[in-house]
Amino acid sequence: MTHSPYVFDATAENFPALVLENSDKGPVLVNYWSPRAGPCLMLMPRLVRLATEFGGRFLLVMLNTDELGRLAREHGVSSLPTVKLFRHGNVVDTLHGAESETVLREFISKHLARESDGKYASALQAWQRGDLDQAVIQAAEAALAAPDDPRLAIDLVKLLMLQQRYAQADELMKSLPQEVRQHPEIRDLSVHIGFIRTAGDAPPVATLEHAIADDPDDLEARYRLCAIKMTQDDYTAAMEQLLAIVRRDHGFRDQAGRNGLLAIFNLLGEDDERVRRYRALLEQALH
């Protein structure tokens, strides 16, 4: 059978080297098939096209179960076609049936090394040796290479926060894809950076308290006071101001009251009595 340069036929003799040993170098996809099964004949050209398209980033091995039935059974294959992905000598993923190229491409892609992986590893190494500037550079390159991966963005934001580069962290989060910005940890980091930046520009506490006393509906003063209290780890006072904001205007600063409370809840944890109390009060205020 003629295949692309990245496709091979399995035998009982070559399987250990072809599949198991090669899987230490990269992903090896084994297609368990039979010439007597129609779906197998539909799946095979799709896999060959993808092997060619990916240009050797994974190895495709065809295992004819009519010839190697015992080996297929040892691998737990009970229906055809079955595709198993080997990595470091073990099966790490399995797909059953004659799936479309779209499904197959997604199945394969999630196991392929990405450019961002190397940059992310470099960022971690730089951070471990105390080179925060280089860590930020490498993490930024990794995030750009994989804009849909929230892990990279989260770690980059944390590195920027360690360097007190809050404006850059804020801009980074605003530039992320919408679905990544909705990640709970990204939302919480955004809230915390907002508190830090607001507290840095806020007038003294006494001035804000006087402003609120004169006008309880001065939500900007309440938000600034909350921000200062957050930087002082006075979470109860911060939550009190956020709750007052929610009660007066749910939509203030793009729901800053609600989002701020949720971020503090996540920070303190559900076992904290203050969280249980203010979560109930938030629900009352919203409904």
Question: Does residue 2 lie within any of the structural domains?
Answer: no
CB atoms within 10 A of CB 35: 13
Residues 133 and 63 in one domain: no
* pLDDT for 114: 66
Q: Which domain holds residue 130?
A: 115-177
Q: Is there a single domain that holds both residue 210 and residue 265?
A: yes
In a domain, 270, yes or no: yes
Count the domains in the chain. Answer: 3
| pLDDT of amino acid 23 | 93
Q: 136 lies in a domain? A: yes
Same domain as 268, residue 242: yes
Same domain, yes or no: 95 and 20: yes
Tell me, yes or no, whether 90 and 126 share the same domain. Answer: no
State whether 119 and 46 are in the same domain. no
- Residue 125's pLDDT is 82
pLDDT at 218: 97
Are 99 and 30 part of one and the same domain? yes
How far is residue 241's CA from residue 237's CA, in Å, rounded to a whole number? Answer: 7
Q: Peptide bond before 147: cis, by omega within 30 degrees of 0?
A: no
Q: Are residues 126 and 169 in the same domain?
A: yes
Tokens for 92? 């790490």
Q: Are residues 76 and 92 in the same domain?
A: yes
Instruction: Tell whether the torsion through CA atoms of 154, 160, 164 and 167 is positive or negative.
Output: negative
Kindly give the confidence (pLDDT) of every residue in the chain, 287 residues in length, as a single tens digit, with 9 standing for 90 and above. Answer: 545 789 999 999 999 999 999 999 889 999 999 999 999 999 999 999 999 988 888 999 999 999 999 999 999 999 999 999 999 999 999 999 999 999 999 999 888 866 566 677 777 787 778 887 887 787 777 777 777 677 777 888 888 888 888 888 888 788 777 777 788 888 889 899 999 999 999 999 999 999 999 999 999 999 999 999 999 999 999 999 999 999 999 999 999 999 999 999 999 998 999 999 999 999 999 98
Instruction: Using DSSP, state whether 163 is helix, strand or coil.
Output: coil
Residue 1 lies in a domain: no
Question: What CATH number does residue 147 fall under?
Answer: 1.25.40.10
Domain presence at residue 194: no
pLDDT at 181: 79
Please report the pLDDT score of residue 93 as a whole number. Answer: 95
CATH of the domain at 72: 3.40.30.10
Same domain, 127 and 218: no
For residue 273, the tally of other CB atoms under 10 A from its CB is 8
The answer to whether the pTM exceeds 0.85 is no
Q: Give the pLDDT of residue 283.
A: 95
Give the CATH number for residue 259. 1.25.40
The whole-angstrom separation of Cα 249 and Cα 13 is 73
3-state secondary structure 178-220: HHHHCCHHHHHHHHHHHHHHHHHHCCCHHHHHHHHHHCCCCHH
Of the residues 83, 109, 135, which one is the last residue of a structural domain?
109
Q: What is the pLDDT of residue 70?
A: 95
Residue 121 resides in a domain: yes
- Alpha carbons 270 and 267: distance in angstroms, whole number: 9
Q: Which of 109, 143, 169 is the last residue of a domain?
A: 109
**Domain end among 79, 109, 139:** 109
Rounded to an integer, what distance in angstroms lies between the CA atom of residue 108 and that of residue 99? 12
Q: Are 35 and 97 in the same domain?
A: yes
Identify the H or E element spanning 92.
strand 90-96
In a domain, 193, yes or no: no
Q: Is residue 190 part of a domain?
A: no
Q: Do 105 and 120 reside in the same domain of the chain?
A: no
